[in-house]
Structure 1
Amino acid sequence: MEAILVITIFVISYVFLLLDRINRALVAATGAALMVLFGVFSWDEALSSYVDWSTIALLFSMMVMISITQRTGIFEFIALWMIKKVSGKPVALFFWIGALTAIGSALLDNVTTVLLLVPVLLHMVKQLKLSSFPYLVNVIISSNIGGTATMIGDPPNIMIGQAVPYFDFLDFIQHLGPVVVIIHGVTMILLYFMFRRVLLTGDTIDESFIRSLKPTDSLRVSPLLYQSITILVLTIVAFTFHGFLHVELTTIAIISALLMLLISEKDESSEVVFQKVEWTTLFFFIGLFVLVGGLEKAGIIDRIAYTFIDWTEGDALMSSVVILWSAGILSGFVDNIPYVASMIPVIEEFQTFGVSPIDPLWWSLALGACLGGNGSLLGASANVVVAGIASTQQEKISFIKFMLIGLFIVLISLIISTIYVLTRYFL
């Protein structure tokens, strides 16, 4: 009876998350509250045993750092410098946007990257009288692909990194970086051929506008500019070498965020910085962890694991392929965050049952969930953010039109990923 109740609450919550008509943090929190109300567990057990506070703290710290650094204008400077560098030429701009989005999504995170880039991009394409759709599609797809490469690039990777203690920042780059570079290169070529007519018809450029651009004007030159950039760069370096430093990622992020808060106190008080934190996202994660915890408490995760093992007979190769494709396909239609939250305990059960090697299953989950996010506008948080920003500036992204392009890219990405996983880990 408990299992039926938990599944009912979880499915109803999932449906409301898909419909996206009610704030998703409110949906997740309500689902979590219902779990407690019907006696699945107490609040104390839910918050202490099932919420991954390391992930919450890491996300919070990154939000604080980016919020403070954004005040210096450095991100807008990079975008404007890039536009000027390519002289506003549509094709060159298209490829630069893809590269900048992918790199930014790997080093910062994909949601932050699109939040910073899309408003500037929309302003630029309007001034250059270009169609915004190819560039917005490029940003969405490149953000999900680029975010796949590192531990902090996409929320699913953060969750996997926190779930597997022996994975460090460099492990993600070493195992996911090579295939991400290949997939992004192939994707950019495919997207160019899809949009080449639109891109090639936009060759009329307002040269005077390009010449008038002054990227340095967007910089707010002050001690905070140099201090925040220095801390951000050192944080990324520390992330890279945290395995050698024997310091957890969360600890590095928290210390860096506190340093930034201290140096920026004169320019902007901590209260103002905290107001800019994406609390909705953090509470969404907390509610989601509790929802998935209900599945785990009711034994449903164990049953899913047994089902997967029955399908694959405990074979690591088959399990990797099944996880890769199931994650890739499902993440195209449901937000990849709750899917990964559901699958992490499943793979942990695989390890309990003696499936070996286990690491390819984790990398398959990361690849499938992150790359599968390109399947539709609901597939990843970055997609929803881009569509939301675009709609505020009267630039609608067609759900169906994007899905037709996105599913094709996901299919190509999963084929390349399958070849990569089989070749690197099993052949």
Structure 2
Amino acid sequence: MGLTSWLTVAVFAGVYVLIATEVVHRVTAALGGAVVMLLIGATEPEHAFFSKHSGVDWDVIFLLLGMMLIVSVLKRTGIFEFIAIWAAKRARGRPYRLMVLLVLATAFLSAWLDNVTTVLLIAPVTILVCTRLGVPVVPFLIAEVMACNIGGAATLIGDPPNIMIGSRAGLSFNDFLVHMAPIVVVLIAVFLLMARVMFRSAFQYHPERVEAVMELRERDAIKDVRLLAVSGVVVVLVMVAFVLHTTLHMEPSVVAITGGLVLLAASRLSPGEVVKDVEWETLAFFTGLFVMVGAMVQTGVIADLGEAATNATEGELLGTSMALVFGSAIPSAVIDNIPFVASVSPIVEEIVAASGGTGEAGMLWWAFALGADLGGNATIIASSANVVVIGIAEREGHHISFWKFSRYGLVVTAVTVSIAGLYVWLRYFALA
């Protein structure tokens, strides 16, 4: 690597330390890091702001903005309070039962929707129901976002890296279901067992609060029936468009921002009031992070990491598959897995072709997808969904520090990636 590449790594590492130690706010650190990347020539404005592969991912930004507008309107209908009361009643007020219910719902939804969309819909419900029952909010949010990252690995549309992998490798929706869904089911089951131990201090049962919740009627929580009906129509159309976006040839970002603006217009609410609920800090953080990671892509740092991890096995399939599972999880834990997959997938494509094409060697794509998807649970900046949940929690007064998240995330990542490696070995080698 040249001098600029080393400077790029140094700047990124410095910003990472600032975010981890919380010496300065993460938004200030990310935006400051982006400015430094531009000043040292690690990237240029035309790449930082206009490049699809090494700049700000505007699809993600506008997807987030559109869904935040929808969620802002939905909050005014009372539907989140309705679902919170319903969930608390179904769990009989038992915190672990509630976590199981929310984790399973999150994992299922994330397989069919973008994981960012899923957490935007689930997180407000979680905060409300935990507040009602008097249990800590943070462990539930962390559990949900981790379940979201795991569940999203099951399908082509569940996680953005999967969409990129499917596009480059020519893999269908059914291909992902056959190869990824079985291990995801196992991982969710394992995660629920881990959650029972990791978050045991959060399972506080308060009989008086539970009794008060059990006496509530869900229907009383609905504040605006007309707005709920309009919102329901828009949300259903948006969700259908998400699922069919490859058939419709319409980017999820276009679907989300269109749905958000249509709902805002139909709601008759003050745009100023609705826009106040948008997580602007989260969007700014993403912008800075994209520019920094784009600089890593532009200078070749990420490609060098991916190439080193895969070339170390000298083309041997089992070794290469293990290198892809574990070698993809590590960088994905440090940087957002979207730009990582975008920059390394061409290398994987070359390795697959050199190893015999899409036949036996095609399983390397599944090893790559599992490592990249599951590595997103390690730190708060490893996945877009993580960043969104941290922003939502902070806005509601629940701070989730870098190390608080990583204390659980690193353990979950280590266990799930190890199980994924075992799955790859069993399915494609031992039992093939």
Could you tell me how far 1:311 is from its partner in structure 2? 0.7
Contact 2:72/2:278 (8 A) holds in 1: yes
State the AA in 2 paired with 1:188.
L
> Distance between the aligned counterparts of 2:94 and 2:419, measured in 1?
31
Is it true that 1:181 corresponds to 2:185 in the alignment? yes
Q: Does 1:258 align with 2:256?
A: no
- C-alpha displacement at 1:225, in angstroms? 0.7
Q: 1:209 to 1:163 in 2, by over 3 A?
A: same
Match of 1:124 in 2: 132
Question: Aligned to 1:66, which of 71, 82, 88?
Answer: 71
1:368 aligns to 2:371 (yes or no) = yes
Matching residue of 2:84:
79
Distance 2:381 2:374 in 1: 13
Relative to the length of structure 2, the TM-score reads 0.78
> 1:417 is matched with which residue?
420
Match of 1:267 among 269, 278, 292: 269
Deviations along 1:371-396, whole A, 9 cap, x unmatched? 34444677656667767877999988
Partner Cα separation in structure 2 for residue 28 and residue 398 of structure 1: 16
Residue 342 of structure 2 corresponds to 344
Structure 2 spans left out of the alignment, 5+ residues: none
Q: Which moved more, 1:411-420 or 1:3-12?
A: 411-420
Deviation at 1:116, TM superposition (A): 0.8
- In structure 2, what is the Cα distance between the partners aligned to 1:42 and 1:195? 44
Q: Which residue of 2 aligns with 1:298?
A: 299
Q: How many residues align?
A: 415
Distance in 2 of aligned mates of 1:87 and 1:305: 48
Deviation at 1:246, TM superposition (A): 3.3
Superposition deviation, residue 62 in structure 1 = 2.2
Residues 24-423 of structure 1 correspond to what in structure 2 (within 5 A)?
Answer: 24-49=26-51, 50-51=54-55, 52-106=57-111, 107=113, 109=116, 111-113=119-121, 115-126=123-134, 135=140, 138-139=143-144, 141-149=146-154, 157-158=159-160, 161=163, 165=167, 175-192=179-196, 202=205, 204=207, 208-264=211-267, 266-269=268-271, 271-315=272-316, 317-329=318-330, 334=334, 337=336, 339-352=337-350, 354-355=353-354, 356-357=357-358, 360=363, 363-375=366-378, 406-422=409-425
Gapped regions of structure 1 (runs ≥ 5): none
Distance change in 2, residues 1:203/1:121 (3 Å)? closer
Q: CA deviation at 1:241?
A: 2.2
Aligned to 1:312, the other structure's residue is in SS state coil
| Shift in alpha-carbon separation, 1:195–1:3, aligned structure 2, 3 A | closer
Contact 1:377 1:383 in 2 (8 A): yes
The answer as to whether partners of 1:160 and 1:366 remain within 8 angstroms in 2 is yes
For the residues of structure 2 that align with 1:37 and 1:207, how far apart are their CA atoms? 56
Deviation at 1:189, TM superposition (A): 3.4
**Cα-Cα RMSD:** 3.9
* Alpha-carbon spacing, 1:342–1:18, altered in 2? closer, same or farther (3 Å): farther
| Kept after mapping to 2: 8 A contact 1:231/1:256 | yes
1:314 and 1:392, CA in 2 relative to 1: closer, same or farther beyond 3 A?
same
Q: State the TM-score, normalizing by the size of structure 1.
A: 0.79
1:307-336 CA-partner distances (Å, limit 9, x unpaired): 12321224565434223223445655x4x5
C-alpha distance in structure 1 between counterparts of 2:394 and 2:29, whole Å: 23
1:56 to 1:392, Cα distance in 2 relative to 1, 3 A: closer
Q: CA deviation at 1:183?
A: 1.3
Do the aligned residues in 2 keep the contact of 1:160 with 1:362 (CA within 8 Å)? no
Cα-to-partner distance string for 1:336-392 (whole Å, 9 max, x where unaligned): 52x542343122233256454487555444433443444467765666776787799
Query: Which stretch has the larger CA shift, 273-282 or 131-140?
Result: 131-140
Q: Which residue identity does 2:313 align to in structure 1?
A: T
Identity in percent: 33
State which drifts further: 286-295 or 223-232.
286-295
Cα distance in 2, alignment partners of residues 132 and 250 from structure 1: 29
Q: Are the counterparts in 2 of residues 46 and 293 from structure 1 also a CA contact under 8 Å?
A: yes
- 1:279 counterpart letter in structure 2: W
Deviation at 1:205, TM superposition (A): 6.2
Q: Tell me if the contact between 1:160 and 1:344 (Cα under 8 Å) persists in the aligned partners.
A: no
Counterpart of 2:42 in 1: which secondary structure?
Answer: coil
Letter in 2 for 1:180: V
Pick closer, same or farther for the CA change 1:206–1:308 going to 2, 3 Å: closer
Q: Deviations over 1:190-233 (max 9, x none)?
A: 4446778996x949566642442222222223322112122212
The separation in 1 between residues aligned to 2:244 and 2:59, in whole angstroms, is 19
Give the secondary-structure state (helix, strand or coil) at the position aligned to 2:312.
helix
* Counterpart residue type for residue 238 of structure 1: A
Task: Please state whether the residue corresponding to 1:220 is helix, strand or coil.
Answer: coil
Within-5 A mapping of 1:14-33: 14-33=16-35
